[in-house]
Structure 1
Amino acid sequence: MGEATREESTCIAQRLLAVAELYTRHQGALADMEWCLVDYCAATAADVSAVQNISHARAVGQVQFACALAYRLPAVAKVFVRGTIDFRMVSTIINRTDNVDDALMPAVDEAIARHCEKWMKLSRPKLRDRVDQWVAKFDPAGVRVPPKVEQNRYFDVDEAAPGMAFASGHLRAADGAALDARLEALAATVCEHDPRSRNQRRADAAGALSRLETALVCECGRQDCTAGASPADATAGSTVVIHVLAEQGTLDGSSDNPGYLRGFGILPAESVRAVAQTATLKPLTVPSGVRADPGYRPSVKTKEFLAWRDLTCRWPGCDKPVDNCDVDHTVAYPVGPTHPSNTKHYCRIHHLIKTFCGWNDQQLPDGTIVLTSPTGYTCTTEAHGAALFPTLATPTGDLDLPPADPDPARIAMMPRRKQTRAQDRRERINAERRERTELIAEQQRQHQAWLAANYKPPPF
């Protein structure tokens, strides 16, 4: 186990240092990208996400982490490569030294590298204290300041088990109290014979709240129910549209194949049939051998098919839903027509990377994409919707098109940033260093005030 643990740490270190080396090579191969929307970090992350099959956001974080390890903490990196410290420790060191002045960083790096092997058994809080101690010795203003709680507000609704969603968040206390009271009030609008538990009614009340309904539909099934809401009332206030894809057999009960709720994943057959009772049903046709749409923009029919066939961005590891994606021509228009065999979805960042950074893609009639990076790495992605519903993988027609020809000179047309990534980082660090300096000064003022009030010099 010990040997495997050390080998694991060594492999992680080697992977990260390879990412940092790839970043350096991108800087040498791609000119003047610092101010581009797809900068060196994003261009490197495109390779990383494709090779490791991870999301672009995770790849960007890995590039930044790798560069910090390789170029700000080379001494710690050497210890990491030996396998005597692990990723948990390295991530703590990188995070806690992020605000250290560049001129003082080599001394901090050497000091931590000399001692970090002895810290492996420490808990996370104790490890953080040891790193902060060395930062404070060399650069007191570089000690990290805890983030303000209010800055971490969020509210997410994510997919959970099939047919279910998971909601979580940090709200302002007043907003949380109002939401809690509203859910409680909605949950209380059913009669006493409703079979659901209080928690189940509150969960269902969240759906009613999202549809602007003023009451829950009671599920007691009694003729003498005293609750006021009826199924007809339940849809009266609805202003939100959701889209579900399912086979006809699932709807008519001849099949129990699940459906798909866009953005939340698989929806069990019984849930599909329940939703269908009050839904507008619309058949989805698979275009086959059709003529291309006139012009650059796809028709409503083509766009609808592409959305269900792809479901997400087609870049390896990217799960951005099609609602947040662009329709990309594999072979650029007008040489490449607006046709289902030549169009698919890329999120904006991957659309820009494909267009401006030398990537080449080929599209097969069933929607499969063969993507080749500027370094020669090739990967294949199938459309997520077509994988779940094989009918959507029906070939839409062979097109006799020339291969796409990436033009490196097009990078001059890349959208520009208002600030570089380095400027954003420096702004954050300067603000946090100022805050730490003010905290230190306030502590010193309080100490001096305490001495003035309590210290009595010894008599002579």
Structure 2
Amino acid sequence: MASTDGASAWGRVDCSVAGMIVPGDEAGVDAQCRGWMAFAVAAHRGQSFLYWSQLRGIGEFLDLALAEVGAQVHDGVAERDLLDPWTVTVEEVAIGFAVPTGRARALVAEAMAAADRLPGTSELLRDGVIDPDMFTTVVDRTDIVDDPQILAAVDADLASGLGKAGHISVRAARRIADRVVARRDVDADRRRRDKNRSRTNVVHRDRGEGLGALTITADAEESRLALEAVTALAKGCCPNDPRTPGQRRSAAAIARLRRVPFTCACGDEATCTATLSDDEVSERQARIVIHAVCQKSILEPENAPEKPAHNDDAGGADDADPDSGADSRGVAECRPCADSAGGGEPAEPDRDTPGYLDGHGPISAEQIRRLAERPDALVRDLDLDNLLDPDDGLIDRTYQEADPYRPTATLDALVRALFGTCTIPGCERAAWNCQLDHVEEFDQVCPATGGPTCLCNVDPKCLKHHQIKTHLGAQRPQDGWVDELWVDDSGVFWTSVTTGHGITVDSRAENQWLLPQLTGLRCRHRGSAATPLAESQPDHTIEGRRSTTENRVAETRGGGRQAATAYKHAWRKSVRAKNRELREQAARDAGPPPF
């Protein structure tokens, strides 16, 4: 007789064969840190396999338990009464896992998706490429697709997209699923939007402890504009306001809705420098811009009215004139890219190709067109020819002539569109709210010897992660983070980060599907190699004594901060060179990343 009770045998299972190897105490601190993180990652991948096994077991159980009621129940016909076989079987699942009926139904739906709807994607779960939360998310986001042939194509695109994405978050997996559904099944995507539009609402929920939550559900662009407007109001407080940014936004939103004054909470009117007058707030809100990027074919030719195109080099999105059509609601800006063949899934962009809304993710072509038709919208062409040398066609014109540190407006918009968010895995800060960072550090004294201001070396990072990358490791370079950006042989852009404990993760540029034109372009710097230091590995010694690396950094202090920074940058170059060698070797052995 099978039983779910009793002690588990998992504590006696040898999981070392799956990579869960406990590091020895004799190893150095860094080696132990790397070992324990590898142990945790292997355990996380093990959870994926076990969840796949759980869904497989539920699926086999369903096939046997419901065999006598026929295909109509197996296909999800609504239960007829309390003793309906489907209802009883779902309740058995609920009992087996001690979960509510709703959760049991969700497990059953995921089991059926793994077996029938998304078998290719479920193999990624089995292999630990995606985790249970990601699989649950993509099952939910593809539930609207009901045509078997389209569903098979969706599954194939999901398996390919998620399998090649590298180290990504659950929200990134959701955006991949939304993009695939919008591209493969326009009607299903429209049905979901129509269904969700009926859910626009304002809801209050009691959170307990004297708190309540007010949730506003609206179109993506409207909710983004509303959030930016509230943020602009909250930013008017002086630096001495003791509240967190979130608390200031909350107070600002409530004040705006109740039409009462929003004030700084510093408590010192004599020294307060808050800028909260109506004119000051209106001036900030007039500068609000939300960004959308799409293929130019989406806006041509029938439904969208013609709008004047703007040259990107004449001014970026942040340079929008508040009097040029933007009111206090802000500006909704679309940047269409000139069409070209190749590179996408499917390869040829058309009027149904999805676009991308900064801070939200993929949106339908219909929603892009509606956004472009707004009276406060600015439509600017993102012309890649602005980057190319007319003589040889290489990417070359990427920085401002007066200041090689600053990118052109075309490169600025392109980089933000390509990556979509901060490039540190797990960070969801929208790209247009990030800073642009030179991955290999720019040399202000001699620009030719540092990292170039180019598509191959600039990516978005949020303020927090930009500061960590810049300042961590000032005393010991090996304690800092080392980031990389490279383009593989297929023209795909990748980023990676190596932490101070030697943990490296790689991620594919999330929105390359949006810009298939990039695949065939090359810059002048592709393939340039960094010169490694002879001494390129941390050499930890016994506690209380400095390593050779520490001594060397200490010696640079005689030359001041500039010498120490130069050595830190040289250290990072050596790490990037070694990582590149490892990637090239892995590519020769097993194909392109992720490995």
- If the TM-score is normalised by the length of the shorter chain, which range does it land in? 0.3 to 0.5
Name the TM-score, length of structure 2 as normaliser: 0.33
Instruction: Please say which structure displays the higher CA radius of gyration.
Output: 1
Q: Relative contact order: is structure 1 or structure 2 higher (C-alpha 8 Å, sep ≥ 6)? A: 1
Name the TM-score, length of structure 1 as normaliser: 0.41
